[in-house]
Amino acid sequence: MIHTQSRIVVSEGPCEAHGVAHTCVHHQNFPENWAQGETPAAAARYLLNMFEKELDSVGGDRHREGIIKAMADLREFLAEHQWDAVDEEESR
């Protein structure tokens, strides 16, 4: 199943290799950068961390602006999915 909210793409389904469920998140402008997590919120946080690290080594201003916009989209997505983060903490 694939969900698209704003520019954040969430795919959920069984792992072909192991048969367990997984959730992957990527930004539509950066499909090569994706993260996996137990929930969409967890995967989005991992992806946001990846973009923050990448921001330090970006070569051009145009690419940097794209990453900053993607990070803003991820923060918006996370703000809209705060219940996922609460559910994660309760399950630990």
Question: Is 8's pLDDT higher than 90?
Answer: yes
**Residue carrying structure tokens 């950068």:** 33
The tens digit of pLDDT for each residue in 42-70 reads: 999 999 999 999 988 888 899 999 999 99
- Ordered by start, the domain boundaries in the chain are 2-91
Strands 21-27 and 30-37: antiparallel
Look at the pTM and tell me if it is higher than 0.75. yes
For residue 60, the 8-state DSSP code is S
User: Residues of the chain with pLDDT > 90: what percent?
Assistant: 50
Q: Which H/E stretch holds residue 91? A: helix 82-91
For residue 38, the 8-state DSSP code is S
Computed over every residue of the chain, the mean pLDDT equals 82
Q: Which pLDDT score, from 0 to 100, does residue 38 have?
A: 85
SS3 62: helix
Number of Cβ atoms within 10 Å of the Cβ of 23: 21
